[in-house]
Structure 1
Amino acid sequence: MREYDKLVRDRIPEVIRENDETPVTHTVAGEAYRERLREKLVEEATEFRDDPSVAELGDVLDVVAAIREAEDIDREDLQRKRRAKRAARGGFEDGVVLDRVEE
C-alpha cells in the first residue's frame, strides 16, 4: 500500500485500475479544492525545478489554468494584471539577482 493524500489528474484512478491496482479516492470542492490546487502548484513547480522539461512545465501550466478557473479569474483580466506588473516592475529576462539592499 502506498499513501498519497494529494490532488491528482482526473484519469489517474482509471490508470491505476488498468494496472490491476485499486485506487482509494475522494473528491473535494470549494475552499478544500482550491487549497489542494495551491498545494499541487508547489508540487508541480518543485518537479519542474528538479526536471526542467517541457512536460513538467506543462503540468505547472495545467495547475495554473485549474486555479484560474476555480478562483473564477477572467483570463483577460489576468493577462491585463500581468502586463501592468511587467510594465511597472519588469519581467525576468535579464537574470537579475538581488543580493542585498544596503542602507
Structure 2
Amino acid sequence: MRTYDKLVRDRIPEVIRENDETPVTHTVEGEAYRERLREKLVEEATEFRDDPSAAELGDVLDVVAAIRDAETIDADELQQKRRAKCEERGGFDDGVVLDRVEE
C-alpha cells in the first residue's frame, strides 16, 4: 500500500484502475480545495526546479490555471496585474540577484 494524501489530476484514479490497482480517493471543495491547489503548486514548482522541462513547466501552468479558476480571478485581470507589476518593478529577464542592502 502506498499513501499519498495529495491532489492529483482528475483521470489518475482511472489510470490506477487500468494498472489493476484500486485507488482510494475523496474530493475536496471550497477552501480545502484551494489549499490543496496551493500545495500542488509548490510540488509542481519543485518538480520543475529539479527537471526544468516543458512537461514540468506545463504542469505548473495547469495548476496556476486551476488556482485562477478556483479563486475566480479573471484571466485578463491576471495578465493586467502581471504587466503592471513588470512595468513598476521590472521582470526577471536580466538575472539580477540582490545580495544585500546596506544602510
Whether TM-score is above 0.5 comes out as yes
- Alpha-carbon distance, 1:77 to partner: 0.5
Residues 1-103 of structure 1 correspond to what in structure 2 (within 5 A)? 1-103=1-103
Task: Count matched residues.
Answer: 103
Q: Work out the CA distance in 1 between the residues paired with 2:31 and 2:12.
A: 22
Structure 1 outlier segments of 4+, above 2 Å: none
- Alpha-carbon distance, 1:80 to partner: 0.6
In structure 1, stretches of 5+ residues that fail to align are: none
Question: Deviation digits for residues 28-69 of structure 1, max 9, x if unmatched?
Answer: 000000000000000000000000000000000000000000
- Alpha-carbon distance, 1:27 to partner: 0.1
Q: With the length of structure 1 as denominator, give the TM-score of the two structures.
A: 1.00
Q: With the length of structure 2 as denominator, give the TM-score of the two structures.
A: 1.00
Q: In percent, how many aligned pairs have the same letter?
A: 87
The amino acid that maps onto 1:83 is R
- How large is the Cα RMSD of the aligned pairs? 0.3
Q: Work out the CA distance in 2 between the residues paired with 1:23 and 1:69.
A: 26
